[in-house]
Structure 1
Amino acid sequence: MPTPSRPGRGWLLRLVIAFSFAQGAVSMARPAVSYRALSLGADERAIGVIAGAYALLPLFAAVPLGRRTDHGRCAPLLPLGVVLIAGGCALSGRAHSLTALAAWSGVMGLGHLCFVIGAQSLVARQSAPAEQDRNFGHFTIGASLGQLVGPIAAGYLVSERDGAMARTSALALLVSAGVAAVSFTALWRVEHRASTGSARPASRQKVPVGRILRTRGVPAGIFISLAVLSATDILTAYLPVLGEQRGIPPATVGLLLSLRAAATIACRLVMTPMLRLLGRTALLTTTCLLGGLLCAGIALPVPLRWLALMLTVMGFCLGVGQPLSMTTVVRAAPAAARSTALALRLTGNRLGQVATPASAGLVAGVAGGAAPFVMLGALLVGAAGLGVRSGRTTPEDPAPPVPVPRAGAERPHAKRNPA
Structure 2
Amino acid sequence: MARERLNWRLLGPLLLSATLLQVTVPLARIVTSYRAVEMAMPLSQLGILSSAFALLPVFLLVQIGQRNDRHGEGGTALAGVVLVALAILGLWLVASDFITIFAFTAMLGIGQVMVISALQLMTTRCSGPEGHDRVLGHFLVATSLGHVLGPLALSLTTPAGDLHPDQRIHWLLAAMAMALVLSGLAMVRALPKHSGDTKTLPSGIGSLLRTPGLLVILLSSSLCLTANDLIIVFFPVLGAAQGIDAATVGVLLSLRAIASMASRFMFSSLVLRVGKPGLISISLASTGLATAAFAFEMPLWLLGTVLAGTGFGMGLAIACSISLTLAIAPIESRATAMSLRLTASRLGQFLLPLGAGTVAAALGPGSIFAVVGAGLMVCGLLVRVSTPRA
User: TM-score with structure 2 length normalisation?
Assistant: 0.80
Counterpart residue number, 1:338: 334
Tell me the residue number matched to 2:307: 311
Q: How much has 1:212 moved relative to structure 2?
A: 0.8
CA-based RMSD = 4.0
Q: Give 3-state SS (helix, strand or coil) of 1:216's partner.
A: coil
Number of aligned residues: 383
Query: Does residue 327 of the first structure (1) align with residue 300 of the second (2)?
Result: no
Q: 1:176 to 1:357 in 2, by over 3 A?
A: farther
2:202 is paired with a residue of what secondary structure?
coil
- Partner of residue 209, structure 2: 213
1:189 aligns with 2:166: no
Q: Deviations over 1:134-155 (max 9, x none)?
A: 2222211121111233344456
Deviations 1:341-395 (A, max 9, x none): 111111111121221233334444555555544443233223212222224xx12
- Kindly indicate whether residue 52 of structure 2 is the aligned counterpart of residue 56 of structure 1: no
Alignment counterpart, residue 274 of structure 2, candidates 273, 278, 284: 278
Q: In structure 2, what is the Cα distance between the partners aligned to 1:373 and 1:226?
A: 16
CA gap 1:371/1:342 in 2 versus in 1, 3 angstroms? same
Match of 2:381 in 1: 385
Asked if the contact 1:23/1:146 (under 8 Å) is kept, the reply is yes
Percent identity between the aligned chains?
30
1:128 corresponds to which residue?
Answer: 128
C-alpha contact (below 8 Å) 1:145/1:262 kept by paired residues: no
Shift of residue 257 of structure 1?
A: 4.0
Cα 1:309–1:190 change in 2 (3 A) is: same
Label 1:313 to 1:296 Cα distance change in 2 as closer, same or farther (>3 A).
same
SS in 2 for 1:70: helix
> Which residue of structure 1 lines up, in the alignment, with residue 224 of structure 2?
228
User: CA–CA distance in 1 between the matches of 2:32 and 2:305?
Assistant: 26
Q: In 1, distance between residues paired with 2:178 and 2:251?
A: 24
What are the Cα deviations for residues 48-106 of structure 1, in whole angstroms up to 9, with x where unaligned?
Answer: 77655532012111111111111223223334333444555677789899998777554
- 1:46 deviates by 8.9
* Shift in CA distance, 67/88, structure 1 to aligned 2, threshold 3 Å: same
**Pairwise mapping of residues 71-150 of structure 1 onto structure 2 (< 5 A)?**
71-86=70-85, 105-150=105-150
Q: Structure 2 vs 1, CA of residues 263 and 177 (structure 1 numbering), >3 Å: closer, same or farther? A: farther
Letter in 1 for 2:62: V
Q: What's 1:263 paired with? A: 259
CA drift of 1:116 comes to 0.6
- Per mean C-alpha deviation after superposition, the further-off stretch among 223-232 and 372-381 is 372-381
- Residues 131, 278 of structure 1: CA spacing in aligned structure 2 closer, same or farther, 3 A cutoff? same
1:112 Cα deviation from its structure 2 partner? 1.7
Q: Residues 108 and 260 of structure 1: is their aligned pair in 2 closer, same or farther, counting only changes over 3 Å?
A: farther
Amino acid at match of 2:266: V
- Amino acid in structure 1 at the alignment position of 2:149: V
Is contact 1:148–1:257 with CA below 8 Å preserved after alignment? no
Structure 2 unaligned residues grouped into runs of 5+: none
TM-score, normalising length: structure 1: 0.75
Say which is worse superposed, 47-56 or 119-128, in terms of deviation.
47-56
